[in-house]
């Protein structure tokens, strides 16, 4: 367990604590579950990556909670093995098709009429197995634009606390996605696919839990990420013209 030491009073007076002072580790006699122990290890490992060592109590609490949640979600996926690809087109719940935006690394959701159906991009949906582990959040997958090296990735801008966004990322060496290891930096390409009612699909980010691929209710807007509770965006999709390749 982690405890503050003799610097507690100065911390209370200033409202800030320095991790280089007043922090000690004690062995608790109370039993802990393996999950609790693992979460503590994850949090300590994450602290090594933090440059500043001074935090308010609130900031310190947020760091621990954020990193325990992110780390715990991925514990199951020490090895994801690619095994099958489904090629398809994708429509959202309002029947808008996904088309590639010109000049930006995004997909757009557009209602296609008449002879414009060929604008809908083909999507290669790569499915993965999780040896020795049952994926309870859904089927782990990667999504890419057919006949290209552009993969859908859920990411944040480097060095910011902004919300996750969906982009198209050019993967030079696709062999790196054949097997995805925990903490190898490739989690941004992974999504949990859940299917309900036989045809309704949702795609949740593995790297950022509770963030889903979604579309605007308005026309020709970028496909992006949103939280599960956001009712202003479409989070359900259907797969059309499916075939295993």
pLDDT bucket at 180, cuts 50 / 70 / 90: confident
Select the highest-mean-pLDDT range: 23-27, 41-45, 112-116, 138-142: 138-142
The rounded distance, in Å, linking the Cα atoms of 164 and 83 is 28
Ranges of CATH 2.80.10.50 domains, the chain: 79-244
Q: Give me the pLDDT at residue 231, please.
A: 95
pLDDT digits (tens, 9 = 90+) for 148-178: 999 999 999 876 668 999 999 999 999 999 9
pLDDT bucket at 184, cuts 50 / 70 / 90: confident
Select the highest-mean-pLDDT range: 128-132, 175-179, 235-239: 235-239
> Is a pLDDT exceeding 50 seen at residue 104?
yes
- Ramachandran sector of residue 220 (left: φ over 0; alpha: ψ -120 to 50; beta: rest): left
The percent of the chain in helix, strand and coil, each rounded to the nearest 5, is 20, 40, 40
Q: Which is more confidently placed, 53 or 93? A: 93
The rounded distance, in Å, linking the Cα atoms of 13 and 104 is 50
Indicate the angle between helix axes 57-73 and 34-47, nearest 10 degrees. 120
pLDDT digits (tens, 9 = 90+) for 66-75: 444 443 344 4
Which CATH code, of 2.80.10.50, 2.60.20.30, 2.10.109.10, 3.40.50.720, is assigned to 79-244? Answer: 2.80.10.50
Average pLDDT, the chain: 78
Using an 8 Å Cβ cutoff, are 172 and 149 in contact?
Answer: yes
Q: Give me the pLDDT at residue 54, please.
A: 58
Q: Give me the pLDDT at residue 49, please.
A: 54
| Both tokens assigned to 65 | 């909670």
Using an 8 Å Cβ cutoff, are 236 and 92 in contact?
Answer: yes
């Amino acid at each position: 367990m982690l405890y503050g030491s003799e610097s507690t009073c100065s911390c209370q007076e200033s409202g800030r604590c320095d991790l280089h002072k007043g922090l000690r580790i004690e062995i608790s006699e109370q039993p802990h579950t393996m999950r609790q122990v693992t979460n503590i290890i994850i949090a300590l490992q994450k602290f090594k990556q933090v440059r500043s060592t001074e935090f308010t109590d609130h900031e310190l609490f947020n760091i621990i909670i954020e990193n325990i949640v992110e780390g715990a979600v991925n514990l199951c996926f020490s090895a994801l093995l690619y095994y099958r690809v489904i090629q398809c087109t994708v429509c959202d719940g309002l029947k808008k098709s996904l088309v590639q935006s010109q000049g930006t690394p995004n997909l757009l959701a557009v209602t296609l009429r008449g002879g414009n159906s060929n604008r809908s991009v083909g999507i290669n949906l790569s499915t993965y197995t999780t040896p020795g582990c049952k994926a309870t959040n859904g089927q782990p997958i990667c999504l890419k634009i057919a006949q290209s090296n552009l993969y859908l990735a859920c990411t944040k801008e480097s060095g910011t606390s902004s919300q996750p966004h969906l982009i198209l990322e050019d993967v030079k060496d696709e062999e790196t996605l054949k097997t995805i290891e925990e903490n190898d930096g490739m989690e941004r390409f992974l999504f949990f696919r859940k299917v309900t009612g036989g045809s309704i699909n949702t795609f949740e980010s593995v790297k950022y839990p509770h963030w889903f691929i979604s579309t605007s209710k308005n026309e020709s807007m970028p496909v992006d990420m949103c939280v599960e509770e956001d009712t202003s965006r479409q989070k359900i999709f259907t797969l059309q013209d499916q075939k295993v390749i």
